[in-house]
Amino acid sequence: MLSISVHLALYLTIAALHAPTQALGQCSAPWVPFKSSCYVFATGYPEDWTEAGAFCSRLGAKLAEIETVEENNFLRLHAFDMHAESHFWVGGTDVLVDGQWIWISTQEKMQFTDWLPGEPNGGLREGCLMLVSGSNNYHWNDANCHSQQSFICEKEVEIGGNPSIIG
């Protein structure tokens, strides 16, 4: 088993090979910008939901929390364009109270959702949120948290540059 630092280094090396070499907006490669957030699509090293969240945390990020239809569409389109056959963990869960879906970093109730028809349907067996690929077009599904999947991390846009000095 690879150590966490070797695992992270391998992921970032491979991700950098598949991303533009220049900074994207205020997000450095391989992060992808959208509005005030940067996202990275972690593929090739599937993790369970808890480990995916820990991996994001080591990057100074969290599992993506989808709060608007625009953000959802951006993530769905980007996932489809880059990784059409991967499922992706994001930061929603109902493990604290079955049937009450929240974003794990804030424990706020989800205001926006994009569930597949008939979802969520897993009861106590499926308490973690994933975007489902294939013919499901990355709509939402509750899934077993122990399933090994790709995942999406989100962090705030990096504020860079030197402040201007006036006067």
Q: Hey, where are the domains in the chain?
A: 4-156
Q: 19 falls in which pLDDT band (50, 70, 90)?
A: very low
What mean pLDDT do residues 52-65 have? 98
Res. 16: pLDDT tops 50: no
Query: What mean pLDDT is predicted for residues 34-40?
Result: 96
What's the confidence (pLDDT) of residue 135? Answer: 84
Report the mean per-residue pLDDT for the chain.
84
Q: What are phi and psi of 100, to 5 degrees?
A: -105, 95
Q: What is the pLDDT of residues 66-90, one digit of tens each?
A: 999 999 999 999 998 876 688 999 9
| Predicted confidence (pLDDT) at residue 164 exceeds the cutoff of 60 | no
Over residues 107-115, the mean pLDDT reads 97
Q: What is the model's pLDDT at position 13?
A: 38
Mean predicted confidence (pLDDT) in 145-161: 89
Position 124 confidence tier, pLDDT thresholds 50, 70, 90: confident
* pLDDT-derived band at 44, boundaries 50, 70, 90: confident
- Please provide the CATH number assigned to the domain covering 4-156: 3.10.100.10
